């Protein structure tokens, strides 16, 4: 049922958003040149790798996309796309393909694969999502351990009602544009692994609650 809803909603959203996709693609092409889309390998359900699609928001270095100095590489248009989450629109195609779901843990780079604890890796028991419980409870303002706590809690308590609550709160979070960047970073800090002592499941997760952010 969840897959059927994902397919119908994402397919319809792609059709409705086609004019917006075209305008954003043209704006990226005119201001940053090619490529228009950012493609990166991410870890999906059961640890399988897929190529996520997003609108490009940064300039490239001599060797193409890299992680050096995101603040310097993030363009004004790219910052606005990230603030409004319009850079995520191409990921609807990942949902249609079955790589992702509307709701689930956010897909992360393949370089993180062997940095998770065994418990944290359980976030990959479900398809990654366009939005998720961590995204409506602080997003990049959360520590990695807090994010993974929300992700694993979602895996254990997922339901249609919880998904609807997360989608509803996502719309409000996007409008507030909070939590887009981690403190002291233009984007998010790299996940380098978790210390031996991990925090417990975040307070308020049982109700899909907590502090709201973008």
The 3-state DSSP class for residue 23 equals helix
Q: Tell me the per-residue pLDDT of 25-53, one tens digit each, with 9 for 90 and over.
A: 999 999 999 999 999 999 999 999 999 99
CA distance 37 to 165: 30
Q: Which of 166, 174, 212 is nearest to 82 (CA)?
A: 174
Angle at 83 between CA 85 and CA 185, to 5 degrees: 115
CA atoms of 130 and 102, how far apart (whole Å): 5
Q: What single string gives the DSSP state of each residue in 45-59?
A: GGG-EEEEEEE--B-
- pLDDT band with cut points at 50, 70 and 90 for residue 214: very low
**Across residues 68-87, what is the average pLDDT?**
83
C-alpha dihedral sign at 138, 143, 146, 148: positive
Please say whether the beta carbons of 102 and 131 come within 8 A: yes
Dihedrals φ, ψ of 136, to 5°?
-100, 5
Q: What is the pLDDT of residue 64?
A: 44
Residue 15: pLDDT above 80?
yes
> How far is residue 152's CA from residue 92's CA, in Å, rounded to a whole number?
23
- What tens digit of pLDDT does each residue of 186-213 get? 567 789 888 755 444 554 554 455 433 3
Position 66 pLDDT exceeds 50: no
Task: Concatenate the DSSP letters of all residues of 154-195 into one string.
Answer: HHHH--HHHHHHHHHHHHHHHHHT-SSS-TTSSS-PPP----
CA distance 120 to 106: 13
Q: According to DSSP H, which parts of the chain are helical?
A: 2-16, 18-32, 70-73, 76-84, 91-97, 144-157, 160-176
């Amino acid at each position: 049922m969840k897959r059927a809803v994902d397919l119908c909603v994402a397919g319809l959203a792609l059709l409705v958003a086609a004019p917006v996709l075209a305008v954003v693609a043209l704006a990226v092409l005119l201001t940053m040149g090619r490529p228009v889309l950012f493609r990166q390998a991410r870890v999906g359900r059961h640890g399988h790798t897929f190529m996520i699609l997003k609108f490009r928001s940064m300039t490239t270095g001599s060797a193409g996309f890299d992680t050096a100095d995101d603040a310097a590489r993030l363009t004004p248009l790219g910052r606005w796309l990230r603030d409004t989450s319009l850079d995520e629109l191409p990921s609807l195609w990942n949902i249609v393909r079955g790589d992702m779901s509307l709701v689930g843990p956010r897909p992360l780079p393949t370089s993180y694969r062997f940095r998770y604890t065994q418990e944290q890796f359980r976030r990959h028991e479900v398809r990654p999502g366009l939005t998720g419980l961590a995204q409506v409870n602080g997003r990049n303002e959360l520590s990695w351990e807090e994010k993974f706590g929300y992700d694993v809690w979602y895996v254990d308590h997922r339901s249609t009602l919880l998904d609807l609550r997360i989608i509803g709160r996502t719309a409000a979070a996007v409008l507030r544009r909070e939590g887009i960047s981690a403190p002291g970073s233009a984007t998010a800090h790299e996940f380098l692994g978790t210390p031996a002592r991990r925090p417990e499941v975040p307070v308020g997760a049982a109700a899909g609650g907590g502090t709201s952010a973008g």
